[in-house]
A and B are shown apart, each in its own frame.
Chain A
């Protein structure tokens, strides 16, 4: 036995040095993996929101159709914070994975590429599920979070770029009056070439988007090339509409009551709008002969199952009471 061996064994015996237990190594490796996974999951969530924003804001379609809006759209529509967060989380996840037991066997670039591909793949798939909408609504009203609705309103408030949005306050055959989110009333000229989607009824109070061009900025005149409903949740416009409802002249209020009676709440309207006119009339006629309970059961089935509408009725009810606003549903029921 060499002198070195003797010294080492003597010290081991004297100081009762024992090997570190196996669980210590297992736990430390598991800890690093867990940290990597948490970072990955957060990154997937960030990516999911990026896809969700991009698809719901139709950023790609707008850029292809109107390339001149690219800089503005990038500025207003791209969720810069989430993109930076996604990249940052990918970096940290990659770094953490390289610190695992065999992480060194792959280069950082390889690991980072794999992490980003996983984030893009899973984030892209999840963006198509209700999860994205749920996360977006959970994050609403949180400091620094700009919701889809806010972004949408910003994008569709660029009349000089040919993008305009607001709610219909009056409708003549070739001239609609639209109130934008700043409360400005614009005259929208409808020409023969103006494209309107089939099977969509545009009515008073309806939030809409318009593609076209500005004719007179000072007089606030805009010529419509295409008109669409403002898809998705348009709570902001609906809330504004409810507030304004109280101040409308009685005749106008009666007109709207009739309209609401006819179409029902948004999810029913949405469903009815998605049907061809004949089918819609057929359903409405059939429902007329049903008992109120049966009608309610039918409409209940149409309520969105993605969580967006969950609890909405009660929340709305409370808000209307707080704000002393007339409940449109009671208007309908009357």
Chain B
């Protein structure tokens, strides 16, 4: 989205609350998917979190930094809202799960960057391993890998969303990929032996 549109969107919403509807409709679907990928599986929870995120976005419209992309700013608020929620329900324990479709998408994007794995993921068993490994990755790595490979954000956008500098993001991504490959190889071997 061109920068001028983003500024106009924010300016219109500040003038007239009804204009905020265009921001909601633009991001509703994207954020719903993002929430699932962050591990919010129940549709009711996602709806509540989306509402809360949009209220925060509306309340903080004056704090929008035009130097940032609106997309990164909205993702940042949503992500922070979700992690506040996770902290609250920590005792209940939440489980992150990825759909088959997302796992294949993640795998393909990851393989585009890696020469040491075969790109084909044709067996059900392999898809299951990818889903499991991705779901069980440490949070700090899963978060950056989801943003990079599923949300297809740039390093700069990830840096703006997570409020960490780009070098840290690059390190997290690199370590996350290594961790993923390491666990994947171990699990894959185990599963093949069990077949």
Contact = CB atoms under 8 A, between A and B. Distances in A.
Chains A and B belong together in one complex: yes
Interface of A: 1-2, 4-5, 7-9, 11-13, 17, 19-22, 24-25, 101-102, 104-107, 110
A13 B17 contact: yes
A5 B21 contact: yes
Contacts of B67: 102
Contacts of A8: 20, 24, 51, 54-55, 58
Interface in B10-69: 14, 17-18, 20-21, 24-25, 28, 47, 50-51, 54-55, 58-63, 65, 67
A19 B50 CA distance: 18
A21 B59 CA distance: 9
B164 interface: yes
B174 interface: no
B163 interface: yes
Contacts of B178: none
Contact of B14 (A7, A17, A19, A25): A19
Main secondary structure of the interface of A (DSSP, over half): helix
Given A9-B18, A17-B58, A107 B165 contact: yes
Contacts of A21: 62
Given A25-B60, A102-B67, A105-B159, 6 more contacts: A9-B17, A12-B20, A19-B14, A19-B59, A19-B60, A107-B167
A204 to B, nearest CB: 66
Interface residues of B, number: 28
Contacts of A101: 65
B118 interface: no
Interface of B: 14, 17-18, 20-21, 24-25, 28, 47, 50-51, 54-55, 58-63, 65, 67, 159, 163-168
A146 B115 CA distance: 65
Contacts of A107: 165, 167-168
Contacts of B65: 101-102
A8 B23 CA distance: 12
Contact of B62 (A1, A7, A25, A104): A25
A20 B168 CA distance: 32
Contact of A11 (B25, B55, B62): B55
Contacts of A20: 59-60, 62-63
Contacts of B20: 8-9, 12
A74 to B, nearest CB: 36
